[in-house]
Structure 1
Amino acid sequence: MYKVIQWATGSMGRTSLRRIIDHPDLELVGVYVYSEKKAGMDAGQLAKRPDTGVRATSNIEEILALDADVVIHTPRITLPYEKLNADVERLLASGKNVISTAGFHFPDAHGDGYAAPLREACLRGNSTLAGLGVNPGGFIERVVMAATGFCAQLDHIDVREMVDASAMTSPEFVFGMMGFGKDPAQEDITKGPLAALYTNLFGEIFAFVGHAISAKMVSFEPLHELTLAPNDLAIGAGVVKKGTVAATLWRWTAAYDNGARFTLSILWTSSPSLHGGETGGHWLVDITGRPNIRMTLDIHEGDPSAPPSRALTDATMAAALRGIPDVCAAAPGFFSYAAPGAYRARL
């Protein structure tokens, strides 16, 4: 039985909380919330479950004092990217392993200035830090990298993701963190703090790929694009006004010293009709070399009445919770799953 603390109770956190309460091998011992309105509420009430006897708190000192094996850390990603680090360092130093869905997938990508305090906290607390999920933290690192192992020669990995945000209901997330509704004449989000945030987050994948294929990154270039609303678009979170950002394409390409390149494109859209009517929630992968490989991963909801985003939330939290025994058994420091049999130019 693993003693678990749930950190934050947004959409990801509530899903995680339900899974923890329902799981036969997990014991919920604490819940951290940011909202004072939620503080003092029973975890079962937050998760639409019977009362558990565990009450939420907004006091980190109470969380640090708990005896727990692991903290499931599911806050929203914030500006700046490293804003979450201070709390995570305190959790680690208190002796608790941390599994996050909000970063920490490959901390060494940012250099010692970023990674060293986190690693030192792990050593002080004899604890382990892992960033797990679907993307980042799962699909590319564990599935796409495994597929490259079928190549005798690797030239280019091209991964394209689309997420349909039309049914998302959080204005703070859709119009804030996703950048929808921005007027490009007043603010170019492809060059500002938002672009830096996503470069830091998804840049960890590029560092992991280099590690997996035993190659050094020699260049890393962004090529972001915006799609503007042709008319007012009513979506779950509000209205995207005509002429403002209705979709963001975050795209980067890295080159490695073994001759391989890797392109990651992430399209977040308020309406798939803006892009030829493609449906969201899937990845398309083309691996070019000898031989060429094409893959599609579709994570979708089986219940037509449920919001499309629920499937990806379920998958993300399944990956995080599945990692509990492996992270708890790992040596102090940073944890990530090894890419199974990834391509290597040299053996």
Structure 2
Amino acid sequence: MAIKVVHWGTGPTGRLGLRGIINHPDLELVGLYVHSPDKVGQDAAALCGVAANTGVAATDDAAALAAGGADCLAYFGPAAHDGAGVADVAPFLSAGTNVVTTSFAGLTHPPTAEAALRDPLEAAAVAGGASFFATGIEPGFASDLLPMALLSSCDEIRSIRIQEIADYSGYPAADTLRYAFGFGEAPDFGCFLADPAILTGAWRGVVDAIADLLQTPLDAIETDYERATLDRDLDTAMGRLPAGSTAGVRFEVRGVLDGQPLVILEHVNRMAGDVAPAWPHGTAGDTLTYRVEIVGSPTMRCELVFDPPESEGGLTATAMRAVNAIPAVCAAGPGLLGATDVPLVASRNLASRNLASRAIAASARPGARPSQ
């Protein structure tokens, strides 16, 4: 029996997650929430580029969807901070609907998440007998499962550095880039990520998850945030960035042990290749690279890159880690789940079988001719 899924959000990542649900052989889309009035009433297929209609029309009635008895909610709403998003998700958990999401970066490691996010969702999950799993790509599998796999091959470990090196010039989410990162604003603009508490709230889960794997309590969490500018205007997907505005952002969240950084989560994000040339670069380029560097025995470096278009590849990977985990999350016990609580679940959307299915469907249409 197919797992009944409600999907929430059709932004850049949510659109790809919606497509993944529709294509998944074990999932059945039974509801779709949208925020924009112009999307209400449209078939889900039209909102994610799938050819055949699903028969599921988008709605802005969240209460009706929460009361619908779905097995799982795939939540791709706005990034959650300061309690935002909790009100969206908690009614589903309370009603017994499991949740997977890429929007709650601070809950990738529930034990050290901010109480404003963790406590109400945990209470709702326990009350409803449902499970909640937050993931993504960074935070997410590129910053927890990938380094965890590499650490299984180590003897002595001195440090683990987990990096995102990316050119954000093709990313259209202007509000996130401007108000969270500070891109396009003056170097002293008070963006969210300039606040150490925001950095810690969103990314310390990565650091703590690795420390837990090592069974090593950390002494402290430290952060750094710096910006870079260019002396020319830049035309990007989020609009024109004026000369002298922020065109590069680099930050770290570090777990410290015995006075030395043990686990370092680092972002290096640019709006052009020549921004801050002294900052780290990917071996295969700066468009989108996830890199893990382990210093120890053995010392190793692993880079994950995506073929063009890199941005869609990264967003697809972000969405599908959550979507593919739905069967395992639905089978788990109630509460908040971390990366090591959910087994690896591979995609079952095989291209060869899709082609065969389409050919069978086409041949069954009235008047169809046998294939030549």
Give the TM-score normalised by structure 2.
Answer: 0.83
- Are the aligned partners of 1:14 and 1:46 in contact in 2 as well (CA < 8 Å)? yes
Q: Please list, as runs of the form range in 1=range in 2, the aligned pairs for 1:93-172 lying within 5 A after superposition.
A: 93-103=94-104, 104-110=107-113, 112=115, 114-172=117-175
Counterpart of 1:309? 311
Greater Cα shift, 205-214 or 107-116: 107-116
Counterpart of 2:66? 64
Give the root-mean-square deviation of aligned CA atoms.
2.2
C-alpha deviation, 1:279, in angstroms: 2.1
Distance 1:201 1:48 in 2: 31
Distance 1:178 1:63 in 2: 33
Classify 1:339/1:71 alpha carbon distance in 2 versus 1 (closer, same or farther; 3 Å). closer
Letter in 2 for 1:293: M
Classify 1:259/1:251 alpha carbon distance in 2 versus 1 (closer, same or farther; 3 Å). closer
Q: Which has the larger radius of gyration?
A: 2
Classify 1:270/1:70 alpha carbon distance in 2 versus 1 (closer, same or farther; 3 Å). same
Counterpart of 1:26? 27
C-alpha deviation, 1:178, in angstroms: 3.1
Matched, 1:294 2:301: yes
C-alpha deviation, 1:205, in angstroms: 0.9
Distance 2:257 2:137 in 1: 24
Greater Cα shift, 89-98 or 142-151: 142-151
- Are the aligned partners of 2:292 and 2:303 in contact in 1 as well (CA < 8 Å)? yes
Counterpart of 1:223? 224
Matched, 1:203 2:212: no
C-alpha deviation, 1:295, in angstroms: 1.4
User: May I ask how many residue pairs the two structures share in their alignment?
Assistant: 332
Deviations 1:46-104 (A, max 9, x none): 123332221111121111111211111112314x4421122221111111100000113
Classify 1:255/1:270 alpha carbon distance in 2 versus 1 (closer, same or farther; 3 Å). same
Distance 1:190 1:62 in 2: 35
Counterpart of 1:91? 92
Counterpart of 1:177? 180
Distance 2:182 2:26 in 1: 39
C-alpha deviation, 1:333, in angstroms: 0.6
Distance 1:140 1:132 in 2: 10
Distance 1:247 1:125 in 2: 44
Greater Cα shift, 19-28 or 94-103: 19-28
Counterpart of 1:255? 256
C-alpha deviation, 1:125, in angstroms: 0.9
Letter in 2 for 1:153: E
- Are the aligned partners of 2:234 and 2:240 in contact in 1 as well (CA < 8 Å)? yes
Greater Cα shift, 4-13 or 99-108: 99-108
- Are the aligned partners of 1:178 and 1:268 in contact in 2 as well (CA < 8 Å)? no
Distance 1:319 1:65 in 2: 26
C-alpha deviation, 1:258, in angstroms: 11
Distance 2:76 2:191 in 1: 29
Distance 1:7 1:70 in 2: 11
Letter in 1 for 2:75: H
Classify 1:177/1:113 alpha carbon distance in 2 versus 1 (closer, same or farther; 3 Å). closer
- Are the aligned partners of 2:69 and 2:95 in contact in 1 as well (CA < 8 Å)? no
Unaligned runs of 5+ in 2: 343-372
- Are the aligned partners of 1:281 and 1:300 in contact in 2 as well (CA < 8 Å)? no
Percent of residue pairs bearing the same amino acid type: 27
C-alpha deviation, 1:215, in angstroms: 1.4
Distance 1:93 1:35 in 2: 26
Q: Please list, as runs of the form range in 1=range in 2, the aligned pairs for 1:326-341 lying within 5 A after superposition.
A: 326-338=328-340
- Are the aligned partners of 1:142 and 1:339 in contact in 2 as well (CA < 8 Å)? no
- Are the aligned partners of 2:182 and 2:189 in contact in 1 as well (CA < 8 Å)? no
Distance 1:69 1:258 in 2: 47
Counterpart of 1:268? 269
1:37 match: secondary structure: helix
Deviations 1:177-226 (A, max 9, x none): 3320111245476534xx54343111111121122111112111111110
Counterpart of 2:17? 16
- Are the aligned partners of 1:73 and 1:101 in contact in 2 as well (CA < 8 Å)? yes
C-alpha deviation, 1:320, in angstroms: 1.1
Distance 1:335 1:197 in 2: 22
Matched, 1:280 2:305: no
